[in-house]
Structure 1
Amino acid sequence: MSYNNILSETANGITTITINRPSKLNALNRETIDELHNAFAKADSDTDTRVIIITGSGEKAFVAGADISEFAHFEVAEGAALARIGQEQLFDFVENLGTPVIAAINGFALGGGLELAMAAHFRIASDNARMGLPEVSLGVIPGYGGTQRLPQLVGKGRAMEMIMTAGMIDATVALDYGLINHLVPQDELITLAEKLASKIMRNSPVAIAVAIGAVNAGFKDGVNGYEAEIEAFGNCFGTDDFTEGTTAFLEKRKANFKGA
């Protein structure tokens, strides 16, 4: 499949999706969101893909925000629809994928860019990265999950400060906050992402997908995360990967997981 605004490449079990609008600092417009949804869906259904890496092209930006020119003249109903459709199509979609998603933040991750990174299952960043949710400086609030995911990751107080000041934090502060897991020089960012992906790929794809669902369950209203874990744990016992994993352990050999 060809895309206008992104690149997608699969090699050695990893699909790397690169947002490729460098002249716009990789800002998200509706077409890019559509393309990202399609690329993530394709990678998730591809049996050759075990991990997805999402990053931005160039050295300046992961995603510097949403393309404001597309919605500057929207009215109330249009604004609500923009957020709802975007969340369902991309941000919630990514968070709930069974295939692990690593965000490799290679520069500015602002507004919708930070929201996309937060929808990934975890984040790493280069030392030039800058992150923030500047929406209140435009008279609006984060609309792609930022008011929900940021407090989950950094705590309510820090999230409130970041949102209300509309300021940016650098990668060192993001690491201290727990917003990112690792910080490296820019030229080592994708190498680290691939190294982490290789560690993930040693393990059961089925168990990883189930674990993602169980972790996410604890953040959903009306869902008992512990009960979700118990049910998910039990379901693992009916998989071929469980049989292979336990047999390999008892036989003192490396497991050969098939993802079933």
Structure 2
Amino acid sequence: MTSPTRFALTEHSPTFWRVTFDNPPVNLVDGAFTAELDDVFTRAEDEGVAVMVFDSADPEFYLAHYDLSAKDELEHVLAHPEEVHPFTALLTRLTKLPLATISSVRGIARGAGSEFLLATDMRFASREKAVIGQFEIGMSAIAGGGPATRLPGLVGRGRTFEILYGGLDLDGARAEQYGYVNRAFPDAELDGFVDALASRIASFDLQTIKDVKHFVNVATLRPDAEFKDQMDAFWAAANRPAQQHVAQQLFAAGLQQRSDVERELPHWVTRFQYRPGSEQQ
């Protein structure tokens, strides 16, 4: 395996690995991220890893969202509707890995960042510094990475609608209250708790960890086809004038740069809503 470019991999022990996202300027999710992490998953399965933690080297951005500048990717997706998008396949694989997975969230996790942490087994957040949400409705698109399927089992039907219709952020405390994350900690306590839990899990019998994962998945996972349909709907939206209009305006204002647009994205999307016949078309 070549050295990853979107994150650092730390092997604390043969059974405890850490993936630390590090893709400046704002930790975007893209095709390279997906391919490199898929390779790590293969290695982890082959080498008998028991637990994997996902955190960020950037205290302000956990995973900002998917790279929305990938026009070649949009063209490929629309030309091959039969294919499962690689990010969808990665999240599906993540939910089924025969090991324990933990998101340690400090900073912004929106869009694909939120979708990634929802696919892990456990989510722990900084009470002061975590920012979690799905902003896609503000870009005239459905969230593609499966939150409409994964959120109801965690937060309930009504709060799922609040999150996906409102397109607003939740801080660590609210995310804990809703069940979006397992627990929120004072920022200074987050790393210590996650490391202690991961180390404890890593000390247990691997086959038993696999058995726990299997039977919890039997009780909780939805059909894989639901996730393909949501991602297909996201990319279909990306081909419509409404989404393209908002994206164009956001990129001009600083999207995908270290900017106020990224820090306050739910606020900025409301500035550029598409209105057929308006002067902003």
Alignment of 1:208-247 (within 5 A): 208-220=209-221
Q: Distance in 2 between matches of 1:45 and 1:191?
A: 28
State the aligned residue count: 219
Q: Residues 35-54 of structure 1 correspond to what in structure 2 (within 5 A)?
A: 35-47=36-48, 49-54=49-54
> Displacement, 1:43?
2.0
- Residue 193 of structure 1: aligned partner: 194
Give the letter for the 1:190 counterpart: D
Q: Secondary structure at the match of 1:183?
A: strand
- Stretches of structure 1 that go unaligned for 5 or more consecutive residues are 223-260
Assess if the C-alpha contact under 8 Å between 2:149 and 2:222 holds in 1. Answer: no
In structure 1, the residue matched to 2:58 is 58
Q: Identify the match of residue 16 of structure 1 among 8, 15, 18.
A: 18
Superposition RMSD in Å: 2.2
The Cα shift of 1:83 comes to 6.2
Identity of aligned residues (%): 26
The equivalent of 2:274 in structure 1 is none
Q: What is the distance in 2 between the residues matched to 1:102 and 1:221?
A: 20
Alignment correspondent of 1:108: 108
TM (normalized to structure 1)? 0.78
> Greater relative contact order (Cα 8 A, min sep 6): structure 1 or 2?
2
Hey, what does 2:207 align to over in structure 1?
Answer: 206
How far, CA to CA, are the matches of 2:62 and 2:192 in structure 1?
Answer: 16
Q: Return 198-207 or 113-122, whichever deviates more.
A: 198-207
Q: Hey, what does 1:133 align to over in structure 2?
A: 134
By how many angstroms is 1:72 displaced? Answer: 9.1
Structure 1 distance, partners of 2:52, 2:164, is 28
Could you tell me whether the CA contact under 8 Å between 1:22 and 1:57 is conserved in 2?
A: no
Aligned equivalents of 2:222, 2:22: Cα separation in 1? 36
Offset, 1:14: 1.5
More deviation, 74-83/26-35: 74-83
- Amino acid corresponding to residue 200 of structure 2 in structure 1: K
Distance 1:41 1:190, change over 3 A: farther
- TM-score when normalising by structure 2: 0.72
8 Å Cα contact 2:6/2:33 also seen in 1: yes
Q: CA deviation at 1:139?
A: 1.4
Question: Hey, what does 2:237 align to over in structure 1?
Answer: none
CA–CA distance in structure 2, aligned partners of residues 162 and 131 of structure 1: 10
Partner of 1:59: helix, strand, or coil?
Answer: coil
Matches within 5 A, 1:245-256: none
Superposition deviation, residue 2 in structure 1: 0.5
- One-letter code of the match for 1:15? W
Q: What's 1:69 paired with?
A: 69
Shift of 1:30: 0.8
- TM-superposed CA distance for 1:71, in Å, is 4.4
Unaligned runs of 5+ in 2: 224-281
CA distance in 1, matches of 2:199, 2:156: 30
Counterpart Cα distance in 2 of 1:95 and 1:141: 21
Which 10-residue stretch deviates more, 198-207 or 99-108?
Answer: 198-207
Give the letter aligned to residue 209 of structure 1: K
Query: What's the CA shift for 1:73?
Result: 8.4
SS at match of 1:107: strand
Q: Which residue identity is paired with 1:163?
A: L
2:119 aligns with 119
Q: Which residue identity does 2:122 align to in structure 1? A: F
CA displacement 1:206-236 (0-9 Å, x = unmatched): 11211111111123458xxxxxxxxxxxxxx
